[in-house]
Amino acid sequence: MLSSLRVPSFPQKACLQMAITASFSTLSLVMISLVMALTLLFHLRGFNAQTASNAPTILTSLGIFGTFLGVALGLLDFNTTDIQASVPDLIDGLKTAFWSSIAGLAGALSIKLRYLIELRRDRASREQIRMATVDDLAQLLAQIRDRLEDANAERHEAELLGEMKALRQESQQQLAHLNQQMGHYQQQMVEANTRALVGALETVMRDFNTRINEQYGENFRHLNEAVGEMLRWQQAYQQQLDTLIQQQQITGAIMEEATRSHERVVEQTRVFSTVSEALEGMLAGLETQSKGLEGYLSALSSLVSSAGEGLPQLEGRFDVLTRQLHSSITTGHEQVQGLLESSSEQFSRAQEALNTQVERILSRNEAQLERLDQSMEQELNRALQGFGYQLTALSEKFVSDYAPLTERLRELVALAQETEAR
């Protein structure tokens, strides 16, 4: 049980301090250090009423300067085309702005609180001085009485003693009455000044808290709405990307199917080429046979002519046979030629259909990408415009709220100076 409540060691404290320091940016640390250094300088060197009057204004102005500097640096490198990469720099700038304002206000409040504490101490010391002055007056009267008694002791001892007693009693009564009145007056002044200072501080702090809550609550509400719109836009963009990926997958499947169809067409074309080569060889063989038959027929014709006129019927039969053979060869050649032409036309039509389908798919994808780019650009411009308007309203509200706070601080300083003068 005791081991679980062990105090952190020095390395753990050092790591914790390093983690806290790393959470601030360099500019935030510089502004906070500058405000702290000025606050210590005002506290340590010649602290007086003039310092209490001017130092809060300087520290508050420095906090306002750090605020606008942080906002300006956050928006300096803001890239409208890459919001996710620019948002961390903007958040660091807003951190610098808020922490600079907090440091400036804390320094100003410390100066004012010290001045009020020292003012009450001075009032108490003045009361002690007044009391000491009354005691000195009584002592002086006693010395005068002693001297008078010593000088006129022989002649007017009894008379002087009576008069001195009466004077002493009257003086004591007057001093008691004066002390009573002074104490009552001082008590009233202390109570009145305390009530006035407490009321002024309560009014200032109440107004400050109310304005801070109204300002930052409204601004953070707008900032949350802007972040929500940005998240909704990212979700819509993710859905569009998913749809585009599905369409790309469908397009890829169509392209693969078209590729396979093209490969089948190429294979069929190769088969047609093989068939045409085989037919060409067959036609070449038929042509060779035809030439051989023509040679045979010429030889036979010469034989028949040499045999004489006795074989007219045989010659007619050979002519008929020759014409039939020539007709068969011509018909086969025409059929092979028609087959080759029809195969070429089918391949051309398939190639044109494939090219048309690919062009249609590419044009449709290009149109979808253009629409997606346009919608993304419109949503991004709308989000950036809303964010810019909100930042402008935040800066204007911040400036307008600091002016009444400065006036209230000046009134508080004037009231403190009037109290000191009294």
Whether the CA torsion 381, 382, 383, 388 is positive or negative: it is positive
Same domain? For 169 and 67 the reply is yes
Domain carrying residue 133: 17-228
Number of domains present in the structure of the chain: 2
Q: Which helix (H) or strand (E) holds 396?
A: helix 312-421
Assign 81 to helix, strand or coil: coil
CA distance 91 to 78: 11
Last residue of a domain, one of 206, 228, 250: 228
C-beta separation of 102 from 35 below 8 A: no
Look at residue 239 in the predicted model and tell me its pLDDT.
Answer: 78
Look at residue 375 in the predicted model and tell me its pLDDT.
Answer: 72
Look at residue 130 in the predicted model and tell me its pLDDT.
Answer: 57
Helices marked H in 77-156: 83-151
Asked whether residue 309 is assigned to any structural domain, the reply reads: no
Look at residue 217 in the predicted model and tell me its pLDDT.
Answer: 64
Same domain? For 249 and 196 the reply is no
Look at residue 121 in the predicted model and tell me its pLDDT.
Answer: 82
Same domain? For 169 and 265 the reply is no
Last residue of a domain, one of 177, 204, 228: 228
pLDDT digits (tens, 9 = 90+) for 58-117: 888 888 888 888 888 877 777 777 777 777 777 888 888 888 888 888 888 888 888 888
Same domain? For 147 and 290 the reply is no
- Per-residue exposure over 182-193, b if at least 16 CB sit within 10 Å of its own CB, e if not: eeeeeeeeeeeb
Asked whether residue 8 is assigned to any structural domain, the reply reads: no
CA distance 188 to 182: 10
Last residue of a domain, one of 176, 210, 228: 228
Whether the full predicted model's pTM is greater than 0.75, yes or no, is: no
Same domain? For 72 and 197 the reply is yes
Look at residue 117 in the predicted model and tell me its pLDDT.
Answer: 87
* Chain Cα centroid distance, residue 363: 37
Tokens of 77: 């490198």
Asked whether residue 2 is assigned to any structural domain, the reply reads: no
CA distance 64 to 90: 18
CA distance 86 to 19: 23
Same domain? For 246 and 387 the reply is yes
CA distance 392 to 395: 5
Same domain? For 191 and 57 the reply is yes
Asked whether residue 7 is assigned to any structural domain, the reply reads: no
Look at residue 84 in the predicted model and tell me its pLDDT.
Answer: 76
Same domain? For 209 and 265 the reply is no
Same domain? For 205 and 348 the reply is no
Cβ-proximal residues to 258 (8 Å cutoff; 6+ apart), any chain: 354, 357, 358
Whole-number Cα distances in Å, 205 to 18, 36, 51, 66, 213: 33, 22, 22, 22, 12
Closest CA relative to residue 86, chosen from 74, 103, 102, 104: 74
Same domain? For 276 and 418 the reply is yes
Look at residue 397 in the predicted model and tell me its pLDDT.
Answer: 65
Same domain? For 73 and 164 the reply is yes
| Secondary structure (H, E, C), 143-193 | HHHHHHHHHCCCCCHHHHHHHHHHHHHHHHHHHHHHHHHHHHHHHHHHHHH
Same domain? For 243 and 210 the reply is no
Query: Mind listing the pLDDT tens digit of every residue in the chain (422 residues)?
Result: 333 344 445 445 445 445 555 556 787 888 888 888 888 888 888 777 777 788 888 888 888 888 888 888 877 777 777 777 777 777 888 888 888 888 888 888 888 888 888 888 877 766 665 554 556 666 666 767 666 666 555 565 666 566 667 766 776 776 677 667 766 766 776 676 667 667 766 776 677 667 666 665 666 666 667 667 767 776 776 777 777 777 777 877 777 776 776 677 667 666 666 766 666 666 666 667 666 666 666 665 665 565 555 555 655 665 666 676 667 677 766 776 776 677 667 667 767 777 777 677 777 777 777 777 677 677 767 766 766 666 666 666 666 666 666 676 677 767 766 766 66
